[in-house]
Amino acid sequence: MKCPHCTIGIHESWSGKSFQYYNQPFAFAYRAMHCPECDKWIIQIKGDTETDWTLILPRAASRNPVPPEVPRTIAADYLEACNVLPISPKASAALSRRCLQAMLRAHGYTAKDLAKEVDMLLAETDASKAIPISLRTVIDGIRNFGNFSAHPITDVTSLQIIDVEPEEAEWCLQVLEECFDHFYVRPAQAAKRKAALDAKLAAAGKPLSKG
Enumerate residues 175-204 that contact Zn ion by CB under 5 A.
Answer: none
Residue 3 is a binding residue for Zn ion (CB under 5 A): yes
Nearer to Zn ion, 35 or 156 (CB): 35
| Residue 164 burial (CB count, 10 A) | 24
Nearer to Zn ion, 62 or 147 (CB): 62
Nearer to Zn ion, 40 or 200 (CB): 40
Nearer to Zn ion, 37 or 167 (CB): 37
Residue 16, strand partner residues: 31
Residues 17-46 vs Zn ion: string with x where CB under 5 A?
------------------x-xx--------
Minimum distance of Zn ion from residue 86's CB (angstroms): 18
Q: State phi, psi for 22 to the nearest 5 degrees.
A: 45, -125
Cβ partners under 8 Å of residue 20, min gap 6:
27
Peptide bond into 58 cis (omega under 30): yes
Residue 6 is a binding residue for Zn ion (CB under 5 A): yes
Residue 111 is a binding residue for Zn ion (CB under 5 A): no
Q: How far apart are CA 39 and CA 103, in angstroms?
A: 36
Enumerate residues 38-97 that contact Zn ion by CB under 5 A.
Answer: 38
Cβ partners under 8 Å of residue 184, min gap 6:
67, 69, 70, 71
Question: Binding residues for Zn ion, per CB under 5 A?
Answer: 3, 5-6, 35, 37-38
